[in-house]
Amino acid sequence: MSHIRGRFNKPADKLVTDYNASLPFDRRLYLHDIAGSIAHAKMLGKQGIITQDDARLITDTLASIRKEIEQGEFEFRIELEDIHMAVESSLIEKIGDVGRRLHTARSRNDQVALDMRLFARDAITVTINSLRDFQQALLDVAGANKDVIMPGYTHLQVAQPVLLAHHLLAYFEMLQRDIERFRNCFDRADVMPLGSGALAGVAYDIDREFVAKELGFSRVSRNSLDAVSDRDYLIEYEAAAALCMMHVSRLAEEIVLWSSAEFDFVMLDDAFATGSSIMPQKKNPDVAELGRGKTGRVYGSLMALLTTMKGLPLAYNKDLQEDKEGFFDTVDTLLSTLAVFTGMVKTAHFKPENTAGAVDRGYILATDLADYLAGKGEPFRTAHDIVARLVQYAAEQGKTFPEFTMDEFRQFSPLFGDDVREITVASSLAARNVTGGTAPARVEQALADARKLIEGG
């Protein structure tokens, strides 16, 4: 390592220094690194490992270094390799040998493990709040359009009528699962590793529980080897982020389709769309497309970290430096995507007349006709076959179901009666009156339940 000269007779090659350095990207850990060092210094003073005066001088100086960084006055020197040494070197420059006492009873191995856990906890908290904001946007739009009817699709073919609110609440449910995954990830990240040393613990009478309490951790790590080499919580975050981005990408794909001239279900706000450099008429759903594209980027970071970890022996290996850039990028990508999608959904204008018009296409009430025959005593599989032949006939004749005469209906089954005319889009929706169904009453309840969920935190 370029700055630790103890057993080396010459400095590291410039290429090695640059290759080895993580300061260009881990400098963003400065708040967490300084918070961990302040807690560590307080503990050293409390335990009598260093004097209380030295502990106070160290903590006060660390606070001043934090202020320098925040005000842009701190010089980050690449030869110092990482944020830990950048802060410690500045500390030593300011207060001399007293600053050298800070690293008593710790290693950079447990120090970086601490910093990453502190950063991850903060990132998870912000992520959950961002997901809640996105859920609120979906809920607001669903509530404002709770009577809007649209086609539901399977295989991207018209299937059955649903309420737009029901469709949007499907994404609310996905995001709720994402929140639960991130909460679980927080529990795994909420373990204080400092005191593990390089790999075997430390030979000082430290108080790990004190440090944990100072930093808000619920518990301390139970195995020093595991503590310095564990990155499961980062992988869990990236896996949860990958799933979340997949959900966002599915919505993105639907927005791209819905905003096309062929569907024309939604108009995106001008602030969340772009134009063309050559075609004046274009209003492109670039936000949705970019979110769809960035999903692959998050997948890549997950696979990179899994691949990095798969062959590492215990305990710390320099490979673990590769945990940071991908993780930081995943956090930044997910948070920016959630923010912009929240804005896009909030300002989107749906077109009820167009969604309702689309419902009239594709013999969307065919399943209801089969259910009607089944209700008259026909076995459902037989009823399905009857209606399938009826649909084929209708397509050949260029007719819709309401245009059928009763004689035409009865060509396919004598069970058809005048009450078949009562089958409508509205009756189809109302018939799905089961928990989780698209019946208006069920959707109204789902909206109320979603509001309570958000209000509950």
Q: Catalytic residue numbers?
A: 155, 276
- Specify whether the CB–CB gap between 111 and 52 falls below 8 A: no
Q: Can you read off the two tokens belonging to residue 138? A: 């979906």
**At 274, which amino acid appears?**
T
Phi first, then psi: give them for residue 328, nearest 5 degrees.
-60, -45
Torsion over CA: 242, 318, 228, 98 (sign): negative
3-state secondary structure of 9: coil
The CA-based diameter of the chain, rounded to the nearest angstrom, is 101
Phi first, then psi: give them for residue 260, nearest 5 degrees.
-75, 160
* C-alpha distances out from residue 127 to 15, 157, 179, Å: 37, 35, 8
DSSP H or E segment with residue 162: strand 157-163
- Burial level of 126, CB count in 10 A (0-12/13-18/19+)? middle
15 phi-psi bin (left φ>0, alpha ψ -120 to 50, beta other): alpha
3-state secondary structure of 282: coil
Annotate 166-212 with DSSP letters as a single string. HHHHHHHHHHHHHHHHHHHHHHHH-EE-TT-TTTT--SS---HHHHH
Q: How many residues make up the chain in this entry?
A: 457
Annotate 26-70 with DSSP letters as a single string. HGGGHHHHHHHHHHHHHHHHHTTSS-HHHHHHHHHHHHHHHHHHH
Annotate 373-426 with DSSP letters as a single string. HHHTT--HHHHHHHHHHHHHHHHHHT--GGG--HHHHHHH-TT--GGGGG--HH
Closest Cα partner for 128 from 178, 171, 168, 170?
178
Rounded (10°) angle between helices 323-347 and 286-309? 160
